[in-house]
Amino acid sequence: MEHFAVIDLGSNSARMTITAIHDDGTFDVVAQEKEMVRLSEKMGEEKVLQEAAIKRTTAALKGFAEKAAEYSDVKMRAVATAATRQATNQKKFLAHVKEVAGIELEVISGNQEAYYDYLGIINTLPVTNCVVIDTGGGSTELVLVQNGHAVNVISLPYGAVNLSERFFPSKDTIKAGELFQLMTSMDKLYNGVWWLRRGHNLPIVALGGSNRTIAKIERRSREIFDFENLHGFKMRDSEVYAIFKDVVSKDLKERGDIPGLSRERADIIVGGMTPLISLMRFLDSDRLIFSQYGLREGIFYEHFSEMQKEGLINGDDRS
């Protein structure tokens, strides 16, 4: 048996999943960790990772390494995305993480991130034709899936944290003019993606913390007991728009009081939701499917497939 640990260091959060892979080809998740690190906070136009953010992030990663060390025969792959990808002090940060936390971070491209999102979804959801959107803290990945294949991928360097800092500087009340500017900006971005209109009327598969918050709010309103277990949960456009309207109408404190919306996400939630809302309008899509699985699961399935090809495990079963 092998334990495979995947760390995903994003712009807003750091997450780790440890999966036990058995010799008979079955597997099960044995540990999941999450820390809100806000790595991209106050990077500014200079794209410099700040000391406070580095300190928070390194502490979280050190904790992850200690947790992984509790398991036998552990293999780890740790990847960093938008914030680290864009950082001008990237090399210094990577060296610091290796020295303090003992973790070798691999900076992956936006297209790699989008492809791993696709692998995580296509292996766990019954979708054939769709548009995938993953809104993180510092980037948004889009994938056009046709006949089960990822035919186009792109990563846009805008996410919940940097969009919020740019368009909503007060972080309190959302002004109509600021929201209009943000949505206009997203429309222009999408118009510049030549292949995106081929996803017209297709369902959208959404992942990322800001997008999943929409599902959590809806499930809490329906009094669904396990409101966070939302993989495969579906919503109509009218339901999504109603939640967005309610969120943008509230000030910071009121947003933090919405059931299903984490207080630590309240200051960036409007910037985080807007890429999805704009995409639904741009593609005239009335169906939304939520995924809890993305980059980390995509990396796992790639590793699992390689183990099968090398004959290290039997069969092709799924746990």
CATH number at residue 145: 3.30.420.150
Count of CA atoms in the C-beta half-sphere (13 A) of 127? 32
Residues 213, 171, single domain; the answer is yes
Residues 221, 147, single domain; the answer is yes
pLDDT for the residue 228: 76
State the average pLDDT over residues 116-129: 97
State the average pLDDT over residues 110-136: 96
Residues 138, 94, single domain; the answer is no
116 in Cβ contact with 299 (< 8 Å): yes
Answer whether residue 319 is part of any domain. no
Residue 315 has pLDDT above 80, yes or no: no
State the average pLDDT over residues 234-243: 98
| Domain CATH code at residue 304 | 3.30.420.40
List, in sequence order, the alpha helices (H) in the chain: 51-68, 82-86, 90-101, 110-122, 160-167, 176-191, 209-221, 237-248, 252-256, 269-283, 295-309
pLDDT tens readout for residues 35-85? 999 999 889 889 999 999 999 999 999 999 999 999 999 999 999 999 999
State the average pLDDT over residues 268-287: 98
Answer whether residue 175 is part of any domain. yes
Answer whether residue 20 is part of any domain. yes
Residues 280, 302, single domain; the answer is no
Residues 90, 163, single domain; the answer is no
Answer whether residue 314 is part of any domain. no
Domain count, the chain: 2
**Percent share of the chain, pLDDT over 90:** 89
pLDDT for the residue 237: 98
Residues 142, 281, single domain; the answer is yes
Residues 191, 284, single domain; the answer is yes
pLDDT tens readout for residues 142-156? 999 999 999 999 999
pLDDT tens readout for residues 173-189? 999 999 999 999 999 99
12 in Cβ contact with 160 (< 8 Å): yes
Answer whether residue 315 is part of any domain. no
Answer whether residue 115 is part of any domain. no
Residues 31, 76, single domain; the answer is yes
Domain hosting residue 235, numbered range: 125-292
pLDDT for the residue 125: 97
pLDDT tens readout for residues 2-33? 999 999 999 889 999 999 999 999 999 999 99
Residues 60, 205, single domain; the answer is no
Contacts with 17 (C-beta within 8 Å, 6 or more apart), sequence order = 5, 6, 29, 31, 32, 296, 297, 300
41 in Cβ contact with 50 (< 8 Å): yes
Residue 316 has pLDDT above 80, yes or no: no
pLDDT for the residue 317: 47
Residue 318 has pLDDT above 90, yes or no: no
Residues 15, 160, single domain; the answer is no
Residues 158, 103, single domain; the answer is no
Answer whether residue 118 is part of any domain. no
Residues 158, 257, single domain; the answer is yes
